[in-house]
Structure 1
Amino acid sequence: MAQLSDDVFAAGEAPMTIEQAVGFLLARVADAPEIEQVGLHEADGRILAQDVTAARCLPGFDNCAVDGYAARFADLALHGDSVLKIGARAAAGRPLERLAPGPADFAGAAVRIFTGAAMPDGFDTAFMQEDCRRLEGGEVVLPAGLKRFANVRRRGEDVATGDVALKAGRRLRPEDLALAAALGLPTLPLRRRVTAALFSTGDELASPGERLGPGGAYDANRFMLAALLRRQGVEVSDLGVLPDERRVIAAALREAAGAHDLVLSSGGVSVGEEDHVRAAILERGSLDFWRLAVKPGRPLAMGVLDGTPFVGLPGNPVAAFIGFIFVARALVAALGGAVFEPPRFARAVAGFSYKKKPGRREFVRVSLVDDGSGLPRAEKYPLDGAAALTSLTRTQGLVALPEALREVAPGDVVSFVDYDLIR
């Protein structure tokens, strides 16, 4: 596990942009060094620890991309169709089968060939069978117009021997596993999964299925954050709801910090009489409050407990969601040795009016409407409070309004990011 110094998150009191906060984290947090060899069936979503260098090329030989006929380009007529004797047959994984007498190298002949079959030596052009015409005498008419190497997959055109096929820090996707398999690799060197302890505090909170007390509420953030962490490949230990007792919280935090790479909570990290998390962390570490130039999601607590990072997200669900997606996710990437990928925004047209304060970035929850006019239209959800969970469940994504902007009018071009691209 990464061991951080107590002052690693000390960032001053000036409000930070998201980019400043992410840059701060990536520059100060080192990934855990542990590497393990993992089979391809278990590697999806994991972080590649080392570059994968191809020990063989792809394809490993020139092969045909279609069902049809192969020929030597030099044997084709300069003008008009070519008529060649069919001298052999080639199928994927089978040796070349002679069909008619002729030169040992089938010069001047065509080869009946199928997709994936190795191109015979010297043969460099393939014709689709639907473009050709068989003659009764065992000949085939090949149409004019193809260039040399048409319909041929060249040896090494996909990956050459010695190429870096997959770069370290990449979160592996199904297509990456296909490439590794095609290179003949049964296992890959992966980073150990990041482990995170997750908890909530508050005597008023109960987990779903439990009985609510007077003035009680069900704990929602813990389940959202657990799912967000797991989607980043993190192994989550759910500590449940801790009571508002400093001694209990301190003991739970010490145990969690000793066994995990990250400790995460939402809400309850302030200076009130019943906010014991701050005091419990300060017993064995440090806690810094970051002011983000963001709405919702301005307050963020970053701390170190016995060398383990602690993140305290805001208590309102939307603020916790945005704080995790845009900032805490970068910390998870750094701890796991992953290359952090910032959200990719697309263009949309505002279908709403909105006024904001300059100096902070605001995120508006929206749904997209395709009216056929070009860019999709972003329609704002009517409830925009940071506690409105339906503003996340009934929308498709976020419109980011930059710090300098003061007002949005219908028809303005805005930046939109889909939830599916950031969680």
Structure 2
Amino acid sequence: MSTAIALFTRNLRVHDNPVLHAAARAEAVVPLFVLDRAVLDGPFHRPNRARFLHDCLTDLRDRLRELGGALVVRDGDPATEVARLAEEVGADAVHVAADVSAHSYAREEALRAALPDGLLHVHDDVVTARAPGLVTPSGNDHFAVFTPYFRRWQEAPLRRVVPVPDAIRSPRVRRGGLPSRNELIAGSPSPDLPAGGETRARERMAEWYRDGVADYASGQDDLAADATSRLSPYLHFGCLSPVELVRRAGIGDPERAFVRQLAWRDFHHQVLAARPGAHDRDYRTHHDRWRADPDALRAWQEGRTGVPIVDAGMRQLAAEGWMHNRARLITASFLTKSLYLDWRLGARHFEDLLVDGDVANNRMNWQWVAGTGTDTRPNRVLNPVRQAQRYDPRGDYVRRYVPELAEVPAVRVHDPHRLGEDELDRLGYPPPLVDLAEATERFRRARGKA
């Protein structure tokens, strides 16, 4: 009897999962998840993602049961555990999804070394819609500018959506058990986290394509409207297939605008795949001599900068483990260009809290905003007051997350310099950390652009 192991990593789903689909061709399938100690004992294992992961694994276990299979759980080093299980069940194949983080590359190499030749099968187009390396410019290994990448990306082949296996037959093997939430989560998650898992992901996807995407092209930057898909956490954990999302999108302007964002996700993955060191080193350095100001960093982290739109974004992050993309741009620009603090400090704080704390997207977006990445205008500064007036004109987003300013009229709520010291004291809201004009000049001088 042929037996295959389907190793789940960032593909915690049964729909359109090439790893599970390929393994299901065998007569017996062992769906496996390894509680990787390098992750669980490391800095990237944070309460928000741990709780979401627990939801995802619980849901995956239930979906596999419906198919007649059983999720096998092991705790330890993935290569060691996979090799031990492969020998135990006499596996003919081990299937796993390709990924681009340094940890993923190391895991894949360790699996190759631990398993007999030919046993490991690595599947592209599982974590991304189009694999890194599929879309390349002539004479280079990756695109460094999004627009030409997107043109080529749209023309590249897109694999078909693979069906859910009709049934899964698992051999007799010790299943192991999922840890409880308390065992998996160290610390307190944000109070308003979304529920994880493929079931909720597919409900959200259906709601989005039925009721939400029609307004996306016009409303994606409207902070108060919250008119984005909020699918990024489910994409990060692989509860949804990016290929299926692209395939299900229509051809109208809103759908095309949404698909463009999925292409941005693939773009960042192909950049990091080609330049692995960019997760912690400048992709294009300006030799910045970043300031050291722990108090300013703490104020930014806590949403106490005295710049309302920045504070609203940071408080949304703390409350929900998620932040609107426009707010991510504004808060990141404020940290790196108004405060002139190192982008890595911001990236790490986001990774502490974001449920969708994806290494490729988080780190490369931070570099883009800091002007050390792929932005063709690296010295642009997003003025937070003008951004707020444009994307939160009534001040509803600010008042939602900064209740101290709930009674301040929209005409004044965005500009900290229009709120006097006495009024700020009465409201219990801090004065601005910096004069925005002076901060912009400081940044330009530091970059030699004054």
TM-score scaled by structure 1? 0.27
Higher strand proportion (structure 1 or 2): 1
Higher helix proportion (structure 1 or 2): 2
TM-score scaled by structure 2? 0.26
